[in-house]
């Protein structure tokens, strides 16, 4: 818990002056999502050629970073990401970004125990409130731990950010070294892709497993958001929310009166989250909303905290699964797409929750390339180099448009048969043959 210290006066400087503090070899932290600095970033980009070996940690970049433009090979400034956005993925493919593996629930602890104090933390925050705090807006996650450890803290003030109520969601003026004025632009919106027919089929299967009073965690992406649409039509009541990411679908369930949080054991009456990204309507919804509570990510994601609520329903996407139930949600071979995020912790937390259920969902197929060659997402073996996000021992429900299976308590042979049953029909015979050839399914099955 933050303790007030004797106040110091932060120096108000220009973005160019702030960027001039960066010297070769430094480690910087930009924060995440809508809390990443923009004015400072442009100023740093203007002098990127003057430094070498600077490394910047960030997460889910929603705007292009100016320091990448004059530095095509990342030799002057290299970005390191805790979780890739589409932009981060493209920078990774170009060699200008590297991934930092973690379960997001451990994020604050990494800074407090394992990461050397960052040289400079630069965070975009709301204007100072009456108590001397610069609110982190919708980007709490690990920022308290970051500002406690950083050698220099710079706040970029932006009055257009939503103000988010919650514990430890701000930096006190006594902790800030420098202030710079932001550009006043509204936070970047994260588009919500339209649900496909496959998304809706999967969402309907999951919605049928949800009961009144369930507590929701909805992951990032179009498919988990489609689940919110199905829940809205399912006639449910008194749902709760304790999630990592606040998304538009959860906002819509709340506005429809389906989310009330009335039956939650932890934070009854409030929807709890650790960051938000979505539409302008979502940012308006979370702004000064007393029925929402933003928390640090260890409070929202660590399994024992997840399990404090009963009937936790965790819904997350995955990219590919093998016949034993290993879920690869972040890479294909050595090409990295996203990150571990909170998936594993919520799968485990939902299992520990009284009456909880964890769902991993995916379309049964994907098109490999522009030629439109269809490939199965249910495979005998994951491609070499592919990262396993959720181990087979943790996986509970798996859902495709062809059905739902529960792998808990099943043998390897039973798992293989279950996974084959929800694969695209065009691949089932081949998967069955391969599974028997490799001994996953013995003759007795």
Known active-site residue 244: yes
Pairing mode of beta strands 215-218, 312-317: parallel
Structure tokens at 106: 């451990």
Report the C-alpha gap between 213 and 205 in whole angstroms: 18
- The residue with tokens 């496909």 is 196
Say how far apart CA 420 and CA 266 lie, in whole Å.
39
Residue 32 vs residues 93, 137, 264: alpha-carbon distances, Å = 20, 11, 28
Strands 327-328 and 320-322: antiparallel
Of 244, 299, 330, 432, which one is the catalytic site residue?
A: 244
User: Burial letters for 19-42: b for 16+ Cβ neighbours within 10 Å, e otherwise?
Assistant: bebbeeebbbbbbbbbbbbbbbbb
Tokens of 78: 């290299």
Q: How many CB atoms are closer than 10 A to CB 381?
A: 12
Question: Which active-site residues does the annotation give?
Answer: 244
């Amino acid at each position: 818990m933050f303790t007030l210290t004797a106040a110091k006066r932060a120096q108000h400087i220009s973005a160019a002056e702030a960027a001039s503090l960066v010297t070769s070899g430094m480690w910087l932290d930009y924060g995440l999502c809508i809390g990443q600095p923009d004015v400072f970033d442009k100023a740093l980009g203007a002098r990127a050629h003057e430094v070498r070996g600077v490394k910047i940690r960030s997460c889910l970049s929603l705007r292009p970073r100016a320091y990448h433009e004059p530095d095509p090979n990342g030799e002057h400034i290299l970005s390191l990401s805790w979780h890739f956005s589409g932009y981060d993925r493209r920078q990774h493919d170009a060699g200008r970004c590297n991934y930092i593996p973690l379960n997001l629930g451990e994020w604050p602890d990494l800074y407090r125990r394992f990461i050397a104090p960052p040289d400079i933390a630069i965070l975009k925050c709301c204007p100072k409130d009456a108590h001397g705090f610069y609110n982190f807006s919708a980007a709490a996650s690990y920022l308290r731990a970051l500002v406690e450890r950083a050698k220099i803290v710079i706040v970029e003030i932006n009055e257009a950010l939503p103000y988010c109520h919650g514990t430890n969601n701000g930096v006190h003026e006594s902790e800030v070294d420098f202030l710079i004025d932001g550009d006043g632009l509204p936070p970047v919106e994260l588009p919500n892709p339209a649900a496909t027919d496959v998304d809706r089929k999967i969402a309907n299967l999951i919605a049928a497993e949800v009961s009144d009073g369930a507590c929701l965690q909805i992951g990032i992406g179009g498919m988990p958001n489609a689940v919110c649409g199905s829940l809205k039509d399912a006639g449910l009541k008194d749902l709760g929310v304790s999630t990592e990411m606040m998304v538009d679908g959860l906002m819509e369930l709340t506005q429809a009166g389906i989310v009330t949080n009335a039956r939650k054991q932890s934070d009854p009456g409030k929807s709890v989250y650790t960051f938000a990204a979505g539409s302008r309507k979502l940012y308006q919804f979370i702004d000064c909303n007393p029925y929402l509570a933003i928390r640090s990510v260890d409070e929202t994601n660590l399994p024992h905290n997840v399990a404090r609520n009963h009937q936790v329903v965790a819904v997350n996407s995955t990219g590919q699964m093998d016949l034993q139930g290993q879920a690869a949600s972040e890479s294909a071979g050595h090409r990295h797409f996203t990150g571990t995020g909170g998936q594993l912790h919520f799968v485990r937390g939902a299992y520990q929750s009284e009456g909880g259920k964890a769902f991993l969902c995916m379309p049964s197929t994907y098109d490999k390339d522009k030629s439109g060659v269809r490939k199965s997402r249910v495979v005998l073996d994951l491609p070499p180099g592919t990262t396993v996000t959720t181990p087979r021992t943790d996986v509970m429900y798996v859902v495709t448009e062809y059905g739902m299976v529960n792998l808990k308590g099943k043998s390897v042979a039973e798992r293989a048969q279950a996974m084959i049953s929800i694969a695209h029909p065009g691949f089932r015979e081949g998967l069955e043959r391969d599974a028997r050839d490799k001994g996953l399914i013995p003759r007795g099955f």
